[in-house]
Structure 1
């Protein structure tokens, strides 16, 4: 039985406290925080590291089974994820390391299950708020490591003096804090009146990004915050302001593309980067020559970057570039060497489709989540050009992309009104409790809402 409430007041049910706590722990593990430096200080897979993940895998399957009534509605997302996992599974038959590929496919599949759970259960503003809380905990933990245990929290040799917090590298902390900052900004842009924690999380996340001195992380931060702030401004500014803002954005984007196309070297030097992007262009040139050897199959999912002496093509790249290359430092090229052009095209289609649907859906429901999905997708794409984050097992950016995909194809909160009945554990809320969350009034649906 449903109460008669205005459509705009309807909201998604709040996940229970134990679910939120479990998800925060799993999210922290997906970032590689502390677990990697403690159990695998040499940055290699160890049996202990695999055992640490077993309780997390059990929790993921348990939570997915608990919420199967919501997950089954996301069957198009299930098919999309299965297409990626299926291609990775097929690649083990031509992989240069059958055992590694087989093992990492399992982790990739479980990551997909967790992404489905996050997207189906943490609807509306609940997911950005969960990410904000996770980032706040990780930011405080990083500050503790930086000041109390600088031998772990601060780079000692390469990049000496730069902060890395709970992670191996400063770039890892930068990427995680970008996700946290974008989620925090979305919480501030949403109708939720609870703004103290998001403001603190946003400040700490931005501080840690700046402390890494990572130009990629800084660019991702600017893109993510600009998209969230831009859509928030468009929503509040009226028609004239919206038209003017879109025109300015298009002009600035065109100017930026022209400047990069004609003066990229000068731009990089102004940013303190050498034209080779710290040797990245040499890696990319070498890798594309290896891609040309296996353009349609790649070398098998997760199999290319073996340890020295274990992967002939990787050793060839390392010999040609003159240093121990750990990854492609580009998500798309890394995808090409693993799954070939079919994998890159498939992921590209999923990314374009997810972005288009998210843009259309933002007209109707973006205000509820503070336009987090669009901010994250922008930062995710920029990050994929510099870091190997596409189709990665046990990777938070990839999991969140699949969660955004899941949320994009599910009905909006108003389209699939939840039962407004009190349920044990706080899973469902009554109309009075929902209205109490927004004391400044309901969020009004615009007349052009996408149905």
Structure 2
């Protein structure tokens, strides 16, 4: 990355205001905020929910057409999306629920297109800033629901008294707020001088994660913030600090793995968690027996978890565990029951490749974005071990992962230094003064415009 002088910044043109406004709405919808609890309070699929998504799909295609010249450059990521959609489409032919699989493949394809758009258009710091703004709005909305409409914002029966904000479950709010907090921390770690909104968003998002009392969300929050803060500290601390910090990180990680391998039951009990992870281990054991029946095909994309009486293998799992299991509570096992080992291997390969490329480019693009991609990928992987977020047909974590993949593959933009401050006068440069210093071409907008 080309270093700028102290009185310059690196230019990256932000998307237009109307694009950002549309993306805020679509991202909020992909979290399931408010729409589900209002239109389907019993968490059932209804025609109303499908109709609500039609304007969003139209908006996505409009955005893609508007930015088609940028998406052409993202063809390697488009191939990855095509491979995933192609595998899920093929699963229709052995799916135990042909109609559901066909419908969700379409939704997955549209989500993939939106991910390509986000990754290709929102470069550098602009994607974490978009997520920060969205999370701030949803955090404020969640507080309104908690205090003004507690029947929606607070759990009433299971997990009574815990906050769930705009969502069905506290874990949903926890996952969304982790994404918002990581993005806010990245905005604070980036060269963007505006600190107030990111600081407020980070504080509110972190408070809402704590209010869910979700240990998984808290762990993801700590990991995401640790990655962002760690890389920020490494860059500012000098070579000696960097060596010591990396050594400590390796030692702590190794110690943590050893403690988990040898005393996992004691650790879980100390955290107030059931050693069976609230029955999750029983679910996983039962599901792996069903995976063994169809290891190379699975039961079809999105088809396994039908309602009671609609899915024979799911009913068998519910009978084995003695409770109405809604999903695997593990993204990888859910992939296995849907698409078999080919699906899990394909997703795992894409995740590994994305992580390697992102790390290799972290000292360039990572500086401008505040190392958001690294923090998000770490939290995303940990969350996938506890929640069914992988290859979700309408899920924000999966869409953001595909956007990170797109950003990792695309070449970095070639920004130009533009003076922000006129040293001898101590005043901000005006547009005419900046333009006068660059007579050979137009000056693009500053990179961090809201």
Q: TM-score, normalised by structure 2?
A: 0.92
CA deviations over 1:133-164 (Å, ceiling 9, x no partner): 00000000000000000111000000000000
CA deviations over 1:204-245 (Å, ceiling 9, x no partner): 000000000000000000000000000000000011110110
| Distance across 1 between alignment mates of 2:220 and 2:57 | 30
CA deviations over 1:336-361 (Å, ceiling 9, x no partner): 00000000000000000000000011
| Distance across 1 between alignment mates of 2:296 and 2:188 | 45
Compute the displacement of 1:413 (Å). Answer: 2.0
**Aligned twin of 1:160:** 160
**Aligned twin of 1:266:** 266
Runs of 5+ unmatched residues, structure 2: 418-430, 432-440
**1:11–1:124 contact (8 Å) kept in structure 2:** no
Q: How many residues align?
A: 423
| Distance across 2 between alignment mates of 1:236 and 1:192 | 16
**Aligned twin of 2:422:** none
Compute the displacement of 1:364 (Å). Answer: 1.5
Q: Where does 1:189-228 land on structure 2 (aligned, <5 Å)?
A: 189-228=189-228
**Aligned twin of 1:279:** 279
**2:300–2:338 contact (8 Å) kept in structure 1:** yes
CA deviations over 1:185-219 (Å, ceiling 9, x no partner): 00000000011000000000000000000000000
**1:10–1:413 contact (8 Å) kept in structure 2:** no
**Aligned twin of 1:187:** 187
Q: Where does 1:48-197 land on structure 2 (aligned, <5 Å)?
A: 48-197=48-197
Compute the displacement of 1:434 (Å). Answer: 2.6
**Aligned twin of 1:359:** 359
Runs of 5+ unmatched residues, structure 1: 423-428, 438-451
| Distance across 2 between alignment mates of 1:400 and 1:65 | 20
Compute the displacement of 1:166 (Å). Answer: 0.3
**Aligned twin of 2:26:** 26
After superposing on structure 2, the runs of 4+ consecutive aligned residues of structure 1 that deviate more than 6 Å are none
**1:163–1:211 contact (8 Å) kept in structure 2:** yes
Describe the shift of the 1:253–1:58 C-alpha distance in structure 2 as closer, same or farther (beyond 3 A).
Answer: same
**Aligned twin of 1:446:** none
| Distance across 2 between alignment mates of 1:383 and 1:319 | 27
| Distance across 2 between alignment mates of 1:10 and 1:199 | 23
Compute the displacement of 1:363 (Å). Answer: 1.4
Indicate the SS of the match to 1:276. coil
| Distance across 2 between alignment mates of 1:142 and 1:237 | 38
CA deviations over 1:36-73 (Å, ceiling 9, x no partner): 00111110110000000000000000000100000110
**1:155–1:161 contact (8 Å) kept in structure 2:** yes
Compute the displacement of 1:256 (Å). Answer: 0.3
| Distance across 1 between alignment mates of 2:339 and 2:448 | 50
**Aligned twin of 1:426:** none
Indicate the SS of the match to 1:159. coil
| Distance across 1 between alignment mates of 2:94 and 2:111 | 23
**2:13–2:447 contact (8 Å) kept in structure 1:** no
**Aligned twin of 1:43:** 43
Compute the displacement of 1:417 (Å). Answer: 7.2
**1:128–1:184 contact (8 Å) kept in structure 2:** yes
| Distance across 2 between alignment mates of 1:69 and 1:303 | 36
**2:135–2:205 contact (8 Å) kept in structure 1:** yes
CA deviations over 1:281-310 (Å, ceiling 9, x no partner): 000000000000000000000000000000
**Aligned twin of 1:333:** 333
Q: Does 1:306 align with 2:306?
A: yes
| Distance across 2 between alignment mates of 1:160 and 1:430 | 59
Describe the shift of the 1:436–1:100 C-alpha distance in structure 2 as closer, same or farther (beyond 3 A).
Answer: closer
| Distance across 2 between alignment mates of 1:436 and 1:162 | 37
Compute the displacement of 1:258 (Å). Answer: 0.2
Q: TM-score, normalised by structure 1?
A: 0.92
**2:265–2:275 contact (8 Å) kept in structure 1:** yes
| Distance across 2 between alignment mates of 1:227 and 1:320 | 40
CA deviations over 1:250-293 (Å, ceiling 9, x no partner): 00000000000000000000010011000000000000000000
Describe the shift of the 1:193–1:75 C-alpha distance in structure 2 as closer, same or farther (beyond 3 A).
Answer: same
CA deviations over 1:71-100 (Å, ceiling 9, x no partner): 110100000111111000000000000000
**Aligned twin of 2:428:** none
